[in-house]
Structure 1
Amino acid sequence: MIDLYYFPTPNGRKITIALEELEIPYAIHLVDILDRQQFNTDFLRISCNNKIPAIVDNRTEGRGLSVFESGAILMYLAETAGKLLPSSGPARVEVLEWLMWQMAGLGPMGGQANHFNYYARDKIPYAIDRYTQELNRLYGVMDRRLNGRKFLCEQYSIADIACFGWVQQAAVGGVDLARFPHVSKWYSGMKARPAVQRALAKDEQFDRPTPLTDAQHRNLFGSSGSD
């Protein structure tokens, strides 16, 4: 059994989708980042960077193995299951390239674009333009890659899973998917996958208020947790 420490965010959804695709039994433990639960001592023992997602793999002998950082978790799950990540050769390199592209580009730029376009109380034109333009550039890269392809790599992989949750929030970050027809087609195919649908259904048990209250906004964006 995998214990998944989770909140319904793009990075959190990477792991529920992977677990559903790999058919690995798991239990969700909500870490309410709007209530600062990511700074609780018990969670910090699992994820020292006070970020979700994190897992504890209780299938290992002795004490459960904890893994934090969504990309590392995806690699760990795929390697232990022997699926969604080729074991060697150019095909493996290709999947890791696109996984790192998401981790270093699509995710961080999507997060910043989402923040300044939607969550920030003070609208800063320079920041909005900077991150929205870069995010649209990244969608252009992805669109060219998906031209004539069903998936980012030769086969469905953790690279596709990593990107899905961020593309799901394209409009929040100022991206019009209609401008990127190959990404749009890929996204529709991803949404139709039964495992993806099962993973998204998990979110229905968690209430995410919109808009955030002042206290929730401060908890999410206003403190390092060191005070």
Structure 2
Amino acid sequence: MLSSPVSESHGPLSHYLNAFPVTERWPAQYPDRLQLYSLPTPNGVKVSIMLEEIELPYEVHKIDFGQGDQRSDAFLSLNPNGKIPAILDPDGPGGRPLPLFESGAILHYLAEKTGKLLPADPAERWHVSQWVYFQVGHVGPMFGQLGFFNKFDGRLWEDKRPLQRYVDESKRILGVMDTHLTGREWFVGDAFSIADVSMLGWVRNLIGFYEAGDLVGFDSFAAVKAWLERGLARPAVQRGLAIP
């Protein structure tokens, strides 16, 4: 991920990046590299896994929720929604720096930029997109709410109907995934893609950090379970899960 700093710390790339307030709070030691602002959450690891898979040089900056980094003016200047991950690519379209937030958009951008983890066939590219949107619209929000009501403050609520609502919906989503993955190694075609990248961290968290495997009957979703094991066995995925 990191080697030696660029020799011209005041060169053009450094000058362009310095125009972004986020680099004042988190200075770029390697201004010629993509700058990643993140934490190893299910959304955060999407981008770190992607960067490790495509082997694009980058520099990572930890956004510490405990210190309120995500609410700082510097970070909000990059992502007004105050969420991770976000990136600042010094070599964006036209050779100009590109700030970008929202993990799904970042995955698509990096895939287009490098020509990796996205099929060449137009129809399959759209199939990949639909599963990324499926993750963004369903997997993330529902699994995240289940985690809140099972492990965090929501577990103290006497009314267990919200928990059951998200348990039931998470089971339904896993069923959709399981039906699709039956007979397949990956979500689209025969190759690992950004569709898989988008979901691995969320499924891993559901049964790990959120401690909801038994609640959703995860072992009954054999195709999803096998897919998760294949994905987590990838060296780049293992590295990406631990960054920053």
Matched to 2:128, the amino acid is V
The structure that has the greater radius of gyration is: 2
1:4 matched to which residue of 2? 36
In the alignment, the residues of structure 2 paired with residue 201 and residue 47 of structure 1 have an alpha-carbon distance, to the nearest angstrom, of: 23
5+ residue gaps, structure 1: 204-227
Summarize deviations over 1:56-101 as a string: whole Å, max 9, x none: 0012366521000000000000000011113452101110110000
In the alignment, the residues of structure 1 paired with residue 223 and residue 95 of structure 2 have an alpha-carbon distance, to the nearest angstrom, of: 46
Instruction: Name the CA shift for 1:63/1:91 in 2 (closer, same or farther; >3 Å).
Output: closer
In the alignment, the residues of structure 1 paired with residue 231 and residue 62 of structure 2 have an alpha-carbon distance, to the nearest angstrom, of: 25
In the alignment, the residues of structure 1 paired with residue 84 and residue 111 of structure 2 have an alpha-carbon distance, to the nearest angstrom, of: 19
2:165 matched to which residue of 1? 130
1:46 matched to which residue of 2? 78
Pick from 89, 95, 103 the counterpart of residue 136 of structure 2.
103
Structure 1 residue 24 corresponds to structure 2 residue 39: no
Pick from 119, 126, 134 the counterpart of residue 86 of structure 1.
119
Structure 1 residue 192 corresponds to structure 2 residue 233: yes
TM-score, normalised on structure 1?
0.85
Cα distance, 1:20 vs. partner? Answer: 0.4
* 8 Å contact kept, 2:37–2:84: yes
Matched to 1:139, the amino acid is L
1:165-176 pair list within 5 angstroms: 165-171=201-207, 172=210, 173=212, 174-176=215-217
SS at match of 1:113: helix
* 8 Å contact kept, 2:90–2:96: yes
Matched residue count: 203
In the alignment, the residues of structure 2 paired with residue 2 and residue 175 of structure 1 have an alpha-carbon distance, to the nearest angstrom, of: 38
Cα distance, 1:134 vs. partner? Answer: 0.2
* 8 Å contact kept, 2:45–2:243: no
Structure 1 residue 182 corresponds to structure 2 residue 214: no
In the alignment, the residues of structure 2 paired with residue 87 and residue 50 of structure 1 have an alpha-carbon distance, to the nearest angstrom, of: 34
TM-score, normalised on structure 2?
0.79
Q: Which stretch shifts more, 53-62 or 138-147?
A: 53-62
In the alignment, the residues of structure 1 paired with residue 218 and residue 188 of structure 2 have an alpha-carbon distance, to the nearest angstrom, of: 20
* 8 Å contact kept, 2:104–2:132: yes
Instruction: Give the share of equivalent positions with the same residue, in percent.
Output: 43
* Alignment root-mean-square deviation, CA: 1.5
In the alignment, the residues of structure 2 paired with residue 114 and residue 100 of structure 1 have an alpha-carbon distance, to the nearest angstrom, of: 21
Cα distance, 1:156 vs. partner? Answer: 1.2
Summarize deviations over 1:118-156 as a string: whole Å, max 9, x none: 112533301100011101110011011110000011021
Cα distance, 1:34 vs. partner? Answer: 2.7
In the alignment, the residues of structure 2 paired with residue 151 and residue 47 of structure 1 have an alpha-carbon distance, to the nearest angstrom, of: 31
Matched to 1:22, the amino acid is I
SS at match of 2:219: helix
Q: Which stretch shifts more, 17-26 or 123-132?
A: 123-132
* 8 Å contact kept, 1:170–1:176: no
